[in-house]
Amino acid sequence: MSVNGRPAPFSFDEKRARLKIPGVPTRKSIVEIQYSKQVSDDVIFGLYKSKYGKDYILATDLEPSEARTVFPCVDDPAYKAVFRLQITTEDGLGVIANTPIVRKERKGVGRVTFTFQETPRMSTYLFFFAIGKFEETKRTAGGIDVITATRPGQAENSQVALKISADALLEYQDYYEVPYPLKKLHIVALPEYHTGAMENWGAIASRESYALIREDTNFRLKNRGAMSMVHEVAHQWFGDLVTMKWWDDLWLNESFATMMSYKMTQKLHPDWEMWAVFLRDEVFLRDGAMKLDALSTTHPVQARVKNVAEATHTFDSISYGKGACVLRMLEGYIGEEAFRAGVSDYLKKFSFSNATGKDLWDALGRRSGLPVTSLARAWLTRPGYPLVKARVVGGKVELTQHPFRFGEGGASGIWPIPIMMRADGKEKSFILNRESVRLDVTAASELLLNLGRTGFYVTLYDEATYELLGSNFPRLSPYDRAGAMNDLHLLLQAGLVEPALYARFVSLCAANPDSVTTQVVAEQLRVVEAIASDSLAVHGMIHSFCQPLLEHFGETPWPGEPPSVGTTREYLTSMFVQADGPYAEKMAKLFDHYTNLDPNLKAAAAIGFAITNGAGAEKALRDMVTASESEVERDMIYKGLSAFRDPKLIQHSLDLGLTGRVSRSDLHYSMIHSALNPYARDVVWQWVKKNYDAIWRLYAGSQQFYIDVGRVIPVCAVEHESDAKRFLSGRRLKEGGSSVIRVLEMLRINVELRRRLLRSGN
Ligand SMILES: [Zn+2]
């Protein structure tokens, strides 16, 4: 190392990747550092080998704090820097970085040096490069090259991602009124990737199942992939051009990109019903915003983050989903145009620099003339959300708010709740900003809160009002029905309503079919079944739900049906096939024509084939998964490999992900799907214990590890709670902190729910 041309002493703390250089003159010093790094074979995070076949792509993934493990830097989002990058590598390989290549020259025998255009000022976590054999496809959007890069042979599968990314780029230029800040935008599909996708400036990196989708891909997966491209393109401005000052405002990036990705995808594909998907996947999901925000481990959307280790734990559905709900609420409050103009002002003012949440509220406040800051603060700087109890007293409606919590600890206090309600045919909206209010409205025939599902709260009605809600159920909008089911399911988990009431409304959903409610309830029932399939009540619920709905939606698409119906069909068939023997046999027959099958039925066919044939199905499914070049296809075959009734076969499937014979990204699928198989609970729990540390190392302790184990352990360990507590103590607790406590809290909820379900039905 040298400082201003003179050799300089330094110390290096490898564990923290911290370099200390004493005696550097404070202003305008030139520090030169020569360093080397050995790329580990065992991780899929940081600088790593993303392997396929016998080859690999060397790639980076640096958020939040891996940049320091790749090159010396002040690794803090507020310290933006200009990068001039040169990479020398073997001849015949391609290199992709944040900016375009300006020169490519031979350097000795078989070596080539790539020189990249100087970057604008940017944060270190957005730095990217990848080296490998790439196939590229290009499209121009408003003069900007949008390029997908895949491993050889996959270019044609990147067309959908390419088109929607280019379309989104043009839409955002309009929306933000700021031109795309760079000269090109890559979408790099990586065969092994630990999470979904990452917004590196000018070079988005993605899991193959998000970037390599086709027009004929299963609609749910196509939709998810396309939406995630639109999310990462939103970040190219919001996050990359203007970056949060510190990780406590990570939510500002993620909530905004989440909200925008649904808004823009809806604009580009009006028939995709993206707000229904938003509620299903971001808000209502089993580890979605409303679940996590009612645990003691919750945090304000705008979290206190002391160091980057803490930043890691805030990549969750509170930062993405709840934050996006609050932004939607604010947009509704000030109007779409004032919101857009405020965002545009904010981006123009802080281009190539950093900003905080307050800077955005100020911009929105100036454009709208409304007190945005106070409403935003109340919802973003405090954890949790309210439970609104609605009851009819003496013919009048009374509303009372309390913090909604599953156990001890977590949220407290009063929220300013924008209430939108309907009572006896009259709509009413106001802000409830005290504990209790008695309204001068009657509710003799009808009372419904949270109309259109724009409020972030849960409603508990009194007994008589639930009667009314039941009889009015056919007349509710799909969002209101799905919202009511979401609330009932949360209340069931919190022990505030009985399983019988929830079951009654499940039957009402079956009698009044709509797509979004069916999907939301199917998501709920999958976990209910996984933790308590031995309860007669659960068995009854699943049959009374699936049978009439399968009859209604059928197994073959009808002409002109909305695409979401395909997803509804996928949910229903793949759930009922697990629960009903004869239906599994029927679905198994479809497996003969698997390749040409309706993509929304493939999962059910694979599951039916596995259940019906047991060990006899294993080889065929394993061969398919090891031979398949397509991650979206493998996802569905893993559903079959995870559905066996014989624990030994489940163990084989789980082990496969660690053998190196399949992409290490696949581990995610075998774990998630097996955990939902009620016959596999014990073997999955034993397997997780045995391999926990190995998987943690593979994910290099990234948040994706805790997201995955957070979906698996609370289900598979439902009969091993004290074992799980013991296992997740000591070192593992220290490593995982609040993420580990959260896993145990979710397990506690499932243990209690299982107890109540078994008591109620058997
Ligand atoms: Zn994001």
**253 CA distance to ligand 1 middle (Å):** 7
Among all residues, which ones are annotated catalytic? 232
Nearest alpha-carbon partner for 53 in 197, 212, 204, 192: 192
Cα–Cα distance, 599 to 582 (Å, whole number): 22
pLDDT tens column, 337-349: 999 999 999 999 9
Nearest alpha-carbon partner for 164 in 292, 265, 52: 265
Mean pLDDT of 203-221: 95
> Around Cβ 464, how many Cβ atoms within 10 Å?
12
First to last CA, the chain: 72
**23 CA distance to ligand 1 middle (Å):** 39
pLDDT tens column, 177-194: 999 999 999 999 999 998
pLDDT for residue 761:
63
For 423: left if phi > 0, alpha if psi spans -120 to 50, otherwise beta; the answer is beta
Query: Bigger pLDDT: 572 or 314?
Result: 572
Mean pLDDT of 582-592: 96
14 CB-near residues (< 8 Å, 6+ apart):
none
pLDDT for residue 750:
96
pLDDT tens column, 495-516: 999 999 999 999 999 999 999 9
pLDDT for residue 756:
95
Confidence of residue 410 (pLDDT cuts 50, 70, 90): low
Q: Is the pLDDT of residue 264 over 60?
A: yes
Beta-sheet pairing, 447-449 with 417-423: antiparallel
Confidence of residue 17 (pLDDT cuts 50, 70, 90): confident
pLDDT for residue 510:
97
Q: Is the pLDDT of residue 579 over 90?
A: yes
The CA-based dihedral angle spanning residues 117, 121, 127, 133, taken in that order and rounded to the nearest 10 degrees: -20
Mean pLDDT of 298-320: 81
- Indicate the length of the chain as a whole number: 762
**231 CA distance to ligand 1 middle (Å):** 6
In 3-state terms, what secondary structure has residue 504? helix
- Kindly list the protein residues that place their beta carbon closer than 5 angstroms to ligand 1, a single-atom ion: 254, 257
pLDDT for residue 664:
87
In 3-state terms, what secondary structure has residue 545? helix
**737 CA distance to ligand 1 middle (Å):** 23
Mean pLDDT of 239-265: 93
Q: Is the pLDDT of residue 321 over 90?
A: no
Q: Is the pLDDT of residue 583 over 90?
A: yes
Mean pLDDT of 423-435: 93
Q: Is the pLDDT of residue 727 over 70?
A: yes
Integer angstrom CA distances of residue 271 from 267, 275, 292, 454, 560: 9, 11, 30, 21, 11
Query: Bigger pLDDT: 751 or 395?
Result: 751
Residues pairing with 291 in the sheet: none
**240 CA distance to ligand 1 middle (Å):** 11
Mean pLDDT of 476-489: 96
> Around Cβ 178, how many Cβ atoms within 10 Å?
17
∠ CA 226-232-233 to the nearest 5 degrees?
90
**418 CA distance to ligand 1 middle (Å):** 27
**191 CA distance to ligand 1 middle (Å):** 20
**653 CA distance to ligand 1 middle (Å):** 31
Query: Using CA of residue 308, residue 312, residue 315, residue 319, what is the dihedral sign?
Result: negative
Q: What share of the chain is helix, strand, coil (3-state, %, to 5)?
A: 50, 15, 30
Distance of CA 236 to the CA centre of its chain: 19
Tokens coding 125 = 């976590």
Mean pLDDT of 156-169: 98
Backbone angles phi, psi at 456, to 5 degrees: -100, 70
Cα–Cα distance, 124 to 58 (Å, whole number): 18
Cα–Cα distance, 123 to 127 (Å, whole number): 7
pLDDT for residue 762:
47
Q: Is the pLDDT of residue 2 over 80?
A: yes
Q: In what order do the strands lie in the sheet containing 86-90?
A: 86-90, 111-116, 101-106
**62 CA distance to ligand 1 middle (Å):** 13
164 CB-near residues (< 8 Å, 6+ apart):
226, 229, 230, 265, 268
pLDDT for residue 683:
97
- Calculate what percentage of the chain has a pLDDT beyond 70: 99
**528 CA distance to ligand 1 middle (Å):** 30
**255 CA distance to ligand 1 middle (Å):** 8
Confidence of residue 413 (pLDDT cuts 50, 70, 90): confident
Specify whether the CB–CB gap between 716 and 684 falls below 8 A.
Answer: yes
**235 CA distance to ligand 1 middle (Å):** 7
pLDDT for residue 465:
96
**661 CA distance to ligand 1 middle (Å):** 30
**319 CA distance to ligand 1 middle (Å):** 10
pLDDT for residue 263:
96
**202 CA distance to ligand 1 middle (Å):** 14
Q: Is the pLDDT of residue 549 over 50?
A: yes
Q: Is the pLDDT of residue 457 over 90?
A: yes
pLDDT for residue 286:
75
